[in-house]
Homo-oligomer: A and B are copies of this chain.
Amino acid sequence: MGLQMIKVGVVGGTGYTGVELLRLLAQHPSVALNVITSRGEAGLPVAEMFPSLRGRVNLKFVDPADAPLDQCDLVFFATPNGIAMKQAADLLRLGVRVIDLAADFRIKDIAEWETWYGMKHAAPELVAEAVYGLPELNREAIREAKLVANPGCYPTATQLGFLPLLEAGLVNADNLIADAKSGVSGAGRKAEVHTLFAEAGDNFKAYGVPGHRHLPEIRQGLSQLAGRTVGLTFVPHLTPLIRGIHATLYARLNGSDQIDLQALYEKRYEQEPFVDVLPPGSHPETRSVRASNICRIAVHRPQGQDMIVVLSVIDNLVKGAAGQAVQNMNIMFGFEECAGLSQIPVLP
C-alpha cells in the first residue's frame, strides 16, 4: 500500500493555490502529477512561471481542451468560482474523484449560493452529493466521497476555533463574532490595484463588512455544529503579511461557569494530527504555522468574565487551501493522513 501511486491532475495551476498544491504534491510519496491545465499559459513550463519548482516539476501547462484529465484518479480544481461546477460532472461520471478548492460546492442552499456568488449554479445536484472537506468534522464522509468541497480559508480557521464550544453547547450562539485577519496571498495572484505592494504594504484595513462570501459558508458550518441557526458577525481584514490567517473569535458563555475550556479543547482535538491546542495563556502567531498544514488554537477567558476569546491561526494557502486539499486526498485514498504534509513550519 505504501507503494500505491495515484495519478493526479490540477485544473488551473497558475494561482497561489495552484503553486502551493504543486509544491505539496511534488513532495508527496504517493502522487504522480500527471497534468496541469491553464487556458492562458498553455505550453509554458510550470517552472518558468514559478522558479521555485525548477527541477521538481517538469510539466508544462496544458490547454484544458487537450488535458487527459479523464485518465487521472483525482483532479483538483484550483480555479476561480464557477468553473468546477461545469466540469466536475463529466469527470465524476468517468470515475475520477474531484476536490474543488473554489466555492462551487460548499454551500448547500443553492439560492443562498447564487445570491452571494452572483451566478446561476450549473450543477445543483452535485452540491447535494459533495462532502464539505473539513476532516475534523467530516472525516468519515470524506473517506467515501467522490466530490469534496474544500473549505475556504476564513471558514477553516473560524470553524476549528468555534467547534468545541458549539459542539458542547456552551455559548450563546446568537451573537458569535469572528474578527479575522488575512495575509494578502488570500486575495489570489490576480493583477489588481488594491493588493499591490505599495497599496497593501504598511497598511491595514477591514473589508467586506456589509457582507463577505465566506459569511454564509461559516454560518452554515457553525449552524451544523450548534444544531441550530447561529447569529454571526464576520469582519475580515487585509494584513500586510503574505501567508497567514488569524481569527479572533468571541462568544459568550451561556451560564456554564465551571467549565474547563482548556480541557475541552485539548480533548476534542487530541486525535487530530493538524490541530494543536496551545497551553493556557498562549497567543499563537501566524508564522508558527507558516508553510505547514497546522492550525494552532488558544482559548482565553479574559478576567474570568463570560466572554470567551479564541485565537486560531492557519496558513491560508495550506490548511486554508492546498494542504487541506491534500489532507482530504490522503483520507479519500487511504494514505497516511499526514503523507506529504509533514513539513515543519518555516520560522523565522
- Interface set of A (CB-CB < 8 Å, partner B): 16, 19, 23, 26-27, 50-56, 175, 177, 179, 181, 183-185, 187, 189-193, 195-207, 209-211, 231, 233-235, 237, 239-244, 246, 248, 250, 252, 276, 278, 281, 283-292, 296, 298, 300, 302-303, 305, 307, 309, 311, 313, 317, 342-348
Contact A240–B243 (Cβ < 8 Å): no
> Whole-angstrom distance from the CB of A344 to the nearest CB of chain B?
5
A-B contact pairs, 25 of them (CB 8 A): A23-B347, A27-B343, A51-B284, A51-B296, A52-B288, A52-B289, A52-B347, A181-B237, A184-B196, A185-B348, A195-B196, A196-B197, A197-B197, A197-B240, A201-B240, A201-B348, A202-B244, A204-B244, A204-B246, A205-B283, A205-B285, A209-B311, A210-B300, A234-B302, A239-B239
The CA-CA distance from A77 to B344 in the complex, in Å, is 22
With A193-B191, A235-B309 as known contacts, state yes or no: A243 contacts B348, CB within 8 Å.
Answer: yes
List 18 additional contacts besides A51-B285, A54-B288, A181-B239; criterion CB under 8 Å.
A23-B344, A23-B346, A51-B296, A55-B276, A175-B252, A179-B250, A184-B196, A184-B201, A189-B193, A192-B196, A198-B348, A202-B243, A203-B285, A205-B284, A206-B246, A206-B248, A239-B240, A291-B346
Q: Number of copies of this chain in the oligomer? A: 4
Contact B189–A191 (Cβ < 8 Å): no
> Whole-angstrom distance from the CB of A279 to the nearest CB of chain B?
8
Measured between beta carbons, the chain B residues less than 8 angstroms from A296 are 51, 54
For A27, A179, A192, A289, the residue with the greatest tally of chain B CB atoms inside 10 Å of its CB is A179
Contact A240–B241 (Cβ < 8 Å): yes
Contact A307–B177 (Cβ < 8 Å): yes
> Whole-angstrom distance from the CB of A3 to the nearest CB of chain B?
17
Contact A195–B193 (Cβ < 8 Å): no
Contact B240–A198 (Cβ < 8 Å): no
A-B pairs, top 7 by smallest CB distance, nearest first, are: A205-B285, A52-B345, A52-B347, A184-B197, A185-B198, A51-B288, A197-B200
Contact A344–B53 (Cβ < 8 Å): yes
Partner of A233, one of B243, B288, B309, B348: B309
With A54-B276, A56-B344, A201-B242 as known contacts, state yes or no: A209 contacts B288, CB within 8 Å.
Answer: no
> Of all chain B residues, which has the CB nearest A202?
B241
Measured between beta carbons, the chain B residues less than 8 angstroms from A19 are 347-348
Contact B278–A51 (Cβ < 8 Å): yes
> Whole-angstrom distance from the CB of A210 to the nearest CB of chain B?
6
> Of all chain B residues, which has the CB nearest A244?
B204
> Whole-angstrom distance from the CB of A15 to the nearest CB of chain B?
10
> Whole-angstrom distance from the CB of A332 to the nearest CB of chain B?
23
> Of all chain B residues, which has the CB nearest A209?
B300
With A51-B288, A237-B181, A291-B291 as known contacts, state yes or no: A246 contacts B205, CB within 8 Å.
Answer: yes
The CA-CA distance from A289 to B55 in the complex, in Å, is 12
The CA-CA distance from A161 to B69 in the complex, in Å, is 42
Measured between beta carbons, the chain B residues less than 8 angstroms from A343 are 27, 343
> Whole-angstrom distance from the CB of A231 to the nearest CB of chain B?
7
Partner of A184, one of B27, B198, B286, B311: B198
Measured between beta carbons, the chain B residues less than 8 angstroms from A348 are 16, 19, 185, 189, 198-199, 201, 242-243, 317
